[in-house]
A and B are shown apart, each in its own frame.
Chain A
Amino acid sequence: DVKVTQSSRYLVKRTGEKVFLECVQDMDHENMFWYRQDPGLGLRLIYFSYDVKMKEKGDIPEGYSVSREKKERFSLILESASTNQTSMYLCASRGAGFDGRRKLTSTDTQYFGPGTRLTVL
């Protein structure tokens, strides 16, 4: 089974602090994603990475940065946390190799971590 872990389930930080959220997957997946989830807004993509040292902005990258130094680890960084970054943060990973005509395999599906609920005071 794919396993995606996140460093903390709950985190409380103060405004202006630098925050690191870590995500690790054990399936040698190329693609990794960071989302935030807010009531009424669903999941919104912050950043994603399709290979080591590669990163792409998602829909809401402002105020965030990411780091992918190793394939299994994708870190989300809040350089200076603000109260509007209080949210649930979800990490996901998936394998590469997509063919829309093929039946579903594990390479087509995103697998999520348990989430980190971040509160910024």
Chain B
Amino acid sequence: AQKITQTQPGMFVQEKEAVTLDCTYDTSDQSYGLFWYKQPSSGEMIFLIYQGSYDEQNATEGRYSLNFQKARKSANLVISASQLGDSAMYFCAMRVRYRNTGNQFYFGTGTSLTVIP
């Protein structure tokens, strides 16, 4: 069974500090992709960052980086220099490819991040 686990329902961080949001995954497939999405209070899901299972280097996109530890099956999101606009729900997701039906995505339950001024 495929599974994504986010163990932190809520997190607080001081403005300008860094914060790590945890994500672990469970799959027996060798080829998969890991994603992080941000969902502000307005409701839309915003893609942040992607890591492929074969990528040896950790993905980075501006202030976002993905700490990918394949042996531990973890894909933590690190946000550096937090800003007030970072307050939102954050979802970790995994994409697995099935031979007959293509890709399927699995989402975690989310972490609510609040940035404190």
Residue in B46, B47, B91 whose beta carbon sits within 8 Å of that of A42 in the complex: B91
Contact B97–A109 (Cβ < 8 Å):
no
**Chain B binding surface SS class:** strand
Contact A101–B54 (Cβ < 8 Å):
yes
B12 at the interface (CB under 8 A from A): no
In the assembled complex, which residues on chain B have CB atoms less than 8 Å from the CB atom of A117?
Answer: 43
Q: Mark A86-114, 1 if CB is under 8 A from B, else 0.
A: 00101010101010111110001111111
Q: How many residues of A contact B (CB 8 A)?
A: 34
Q: How many residues of B contact A (CB 8 A)?
A: 33
A52 at the interface (CB under 8 A from B): no
Contact B45–A45 (Cβ < 8 Å):
no
- Show 23 A/B contacts (Cβ-Cβ < 8 Å), sorted by A: A33-B105, A40-B9, A42-B108, A42-B110, A43-B91, A44-B107, A45-B105, A45-B106, A48-B101, A50-B102, A92-B45, A100-B52, A101-B54, A102-B52, A108-B50, A109-B35, A110-B35, A112-B47, A113-B44, A114-B42, A115-B44, A115-B45, A117-B43
Give B contacts to A, CB under 8 Å: 6, 9, 31-33, 35, 37, 42-47, 50, 52-55, 59, 91, 93, 95, 97, 101-110
Give A contacts to B, CB under 8 Å: 30-31, 33, 35, 40-45, 48, 50, 56, 58, 88, 90, 92, 94, 96, 98, 100-104, 108-115, 117
